[in-house]
Amino acid sequence: MHFNTKAIHAGQEPDPTTGAVMTPIYQTSTYAQSSPGNHKGYEYSRTHNPTRTALQNNIAALEGGKVGLCFSSGLAATDCVIKILQPGDEVICSNDLYGGTFRIFTKIFAPLGIKFHFLPMGDLAEVKKHINVHTKLIWLETPTNPLLNIIDIKRVCDFAHKNKLLVAVDNTFATPYLQQPLALGADIVVHSATKYLGGHSDVVLGAIVVNDLSLAEKMAFIQNSCGATPGPMDCFLVLRGIKTLHIRMERHCENGKKIAFYLKNHPKIEKVWWPGFPEHPNHKVARTQMKSFGGMVSFMLKGDDIKKTIRVMERFKIFTLAESLGGVESLVCHPATMTHASIPKGEREKNGLRDTLIRLSVGIEDAQDLVEDLGQAVG
C-alpha cells in the first residue's frame, strides 16, 4: 500500500457495530467485562482506547514501524523515551534542537542523574570523544529547529549501532511523508503530532514509533503507568488531519520553496536558512533522505537590529505571530523569546541562534499572497 492510501486507510476499518466509515470517538473511560478480567481488549481508557488504537496503528504504518504509541503532547513522548534510561546513563544530542526538548533534558532529567551532551551531530569525531560505557542514546532532530540543519540519519545510525547505542529521531519537521528514519536505521521516531500530522492547529498530541517489540513493551508500560495519554477526541482530530497529510505537505513544500527563494533575493535579508538551497551545507544529504525540503524557513534581516526584527514581525497580516508550526495557516515565530526562550542566551548564540532570527512555518495559502505579506512586512 502506498503512502497516500495508508494516510487515509491504515489502522482504520469501518465500525463493526454501525459501519461508520470514520473511526468513532470512543468517549468512555471504562468498558464492560463479561467476567472479571474477561473483556474485549479494552478495560480502562488510560491503558487502551479504540480511537487511540486506530491512530497509533495509522502513525506506525506511515513511519514503516511495527508499534505506535500516542501521548498527550510531543514532550510527553520525549519524556517516555528518556524514561527508558537509568540514572548515570548519558545521552548525546544535536546542539540545535527545540527549546522544550532542551528544557526537559536539562531541567527535569539532568537533576535525576542523566547526563546530556549537546554536540554538532555532523562531526562524528567530536561525538566519538563523548562516548563511554554510560552512553546509551543519541537524540537528533533533522531538519533541526530552528536553523534547519540536516543530519545524515543513516550515517549517525551506522555509527551508533557500531557502538551499541540507540538512536531516536524527532521527525516533526519532516513528517513521515518526507522522511522515514526507521528505514534509515533509527530505533525510535518521535513526533509532536500537534504540528504537521494534526495540521490544523486545533490539537496537542505526541507519538512514538518503534520496530523493536521489547522496546515497545517498555514504552507501553511507561505510557500506561505514567498516564500521559491523549483523549479520544484529540486522537480523532489527528486521524482526521493525517488523511490530508500528503496533499498538505506537497503544498507546504511548494510554498516553502517560493518563500525561501523570495527571501534569498530580497535586498533587506542577510541570510535565509532552508535545506533546499544547493549551497546548504548538507543539501545533498537532504536530497537523499527527504522527498522534498519542507515548509519551514528561517531568515535574518540585514543589520542584526532586534528592534527592526520585532517591528517586522508585528507588521504581518497573513502570517500570524504565534508559537507552533505545521498548520494550514502560515505562522511567524521569534525563537529567542518564544519556542527557544528556555535555552540560555549564551547557549543559543553559541549554536548560531541569534536574537534576530525569524522562523516561518509556511502554510498552504496562495503563495503570492504570502510573498506580498512578506514584502510589506519587511518593507
Q: Which residues are catalytic?
A: 46, 98, 170, 195
Residue 260 CB partners (closer than 8 Å, separation 6+): 272, 274, 276, 277, 297
Q: Which residue has the cell 494534526?
A: 198
Distance from C-alpha of 42 to C-alpha of 38, rounded to nearest angstrom: 10
Cα angle 134, 218, 222 (rounded to 5 degrees) comes to 100
Residues in the chain: 379
Rg for the chain, CA atoms, rounded: 21
Hey, how many other C-beta atoms are within 10 angstroms of the C-beta on 28? 14
Distance from C-alpha of 318 to C-alpha of 16, rounded to nearest angstrom: 44
Hey, how many other C-beta atoms are within 10 angstroms of the C-beta on 238? 29
DSSP state for residue 30 in the 8-state scheme: B
Three-class SS of residue 319? coil
DSSP-assigned letters across all residues of 283-298: HHHHHHH-SS--SEEE
What are the start-end ranges of the E strands in the chain?
67-71, 90-94, 115-119, 135-141, 166-170, 188-192, 206-210, 269-273, 296-301, 320-321, 331-333, 357-361
Q: Which residue has the cell 513521515?
A: 176
Side-chain half-sphere exposure of 46, counting CA atoms within 13 A: 8
Three-class SS of residue 105? helix
